[in-house]
Amino acid sequence: MSISANTQTASLQVRIAALAQLIGGMVFLQFGSSTAKALFPIFGAAGMVALRCGFAALILMSVFKTWHVLSWRLLRLAFPYGMAIATMNLCFYLALERIPLGITVTLEFTGPLFLAFLGSRRLSDIAWLAVTVLGLFLLLNPTGANAPNLLGLMFALGAAFSWALYLIFGKRLIGKIAPGHACALGQLCGGLVLFIPCFLPALIAGAGHPSSLFWAVVVAVCSSALPYALEMRAMQHLSARDLGLLCSLEPVCATLAGVLILHETLPLLRLCGIVLIAGASIGTVLTPGKKAPLAEVPEAPQ
């Protein structure tokens, strides 16, 4: 076998490993979200968010050794990013408490998708925007049978808006703070804001349910530490196009997780709406002349 063939084989193996890491991160993320929903009866949605942010901050700061660079200047820089993380996760879990996981993730996904449309000057994106609106109509379908909880829908849209802010503030941090430190400090800021009103009551509730507290740590690992670490490794070997294409499958992955883990079923029309919204995102990535909207900053830690 020639040197060129060996190089191509090695490159293919690296690419396959990167794809596996990114897909693995998505699977861990949805497993974490499903496990968090199962813990709501003990901790509540707000308590679960606080535990997630607090434990994730400790884990990420230890992994990336952020304790050594911690300063008030870095905390001030990361604070808007951290508030976006806390608000996004709080709205996400409050929505998840009321509506299925697949619908929650799909609605949240419209935040960065519409942000990408706002920054576009291409006529082709008008068509993808129309597909997104049609998908939303089928997904929400408020006049149909078994209409989703209205408050849950509002929280999911709040998570979408917060994810858009997360992308904006995350992009501002690029070049000012190392990516690992930025994520750790963001979780720390979010955890500090939620510490007294949410974290301490949840910790007290967990004292009587040590096994549930253990699973809360598992949620922090699966929803923050592992997906971020796997995505960071994958980003070194995948293009923005590849990242955006695979991240577009997030709503479909969430729907499957809801069915397999939480036993949530959705009517056919809502499933079609989820597929249309994911397809619109794939279309914006595959259409030439545009960068993938989700590839510039880490995936939203749900």
Confidence of residue 2 (pLDDT cuts 50, 70, 90): low
pLDDT digits (tens, 9 = 90+) for 9-45: 667 787 788 888 888 888 898 899 999 999 999 999 9
Secondary structure tally for the chain: helices H, strands E: 13, 0
Judged against a pLDDT cut of 70, whether residue 8 lies above it is answered with no
* Residues ≥6 apart with Cβ < 8 Å to 8: none
Note whether 299 and 30 are within 8 A (CB). no
Residue 228: what residue type? Y
Per the document, the length of the chain is 302
Residue-level pLDDT at 293: 46
pLDDT digits (tens, 9 = 90+) for 53-73: 999 999 989 988 998 888 898
Confidence of residue 128 (pLDDT cuts 50, 70, 90): confident
Mean pLDDT taken over the chain: 83
Q: Output Rg (C-alpha) for the chain, integer angstroms.
A: 19
Confidence of residue 294 (pLDDT cuts 50, 70, 90): very low
Q: pTM for this one?
A: 0.84
Short-list 271, 287, 246, CA closest to 106: 271
Residue-level pLDDT at 44: 92
Mean pLDDT of all residues in 253-268: 87
> Nearest 5°: phi and psi at 208?
-90, -5
In the chain, what are the domain boundaries? 27-286
Residue-level pLDDT at 296: 46
CA 61 – CA 188 distance, rounded (Å):
8
CA 233 – CA 212 distance, rounded (Å):
30
pLDDT digits (tens, 9 = 90+) for 36-50: 999 999 999 999 999
* Exposed/middle/buried for residue 291 (C-beta within 10 Å: 0-12, 13-18, 19+): middle
CA 100 – CA 49 distance, rounded (Å):
17
Mean pLDDT of all residues in 129-134: 89
CA 1 – CA 76 distance, rounded (Å):
55
Q: Tell me the CB-side half-sphere exposure of residue 76, using CA atoms within 13 A.
A: 3
CA 285 – CA 211 distance, rounded (Å):
42
Short-list 160, 165, 141, CA closest to 91: 160
Confidence of residue 265 (pLDDT cuts 50, 70, 90): confident
Give the 3-state secondary structure of 72-117. Answer: HHHHHHHHHHHHHHHHHHHHHHHHHCCCCHHHHHHHHHHHHHHHHH
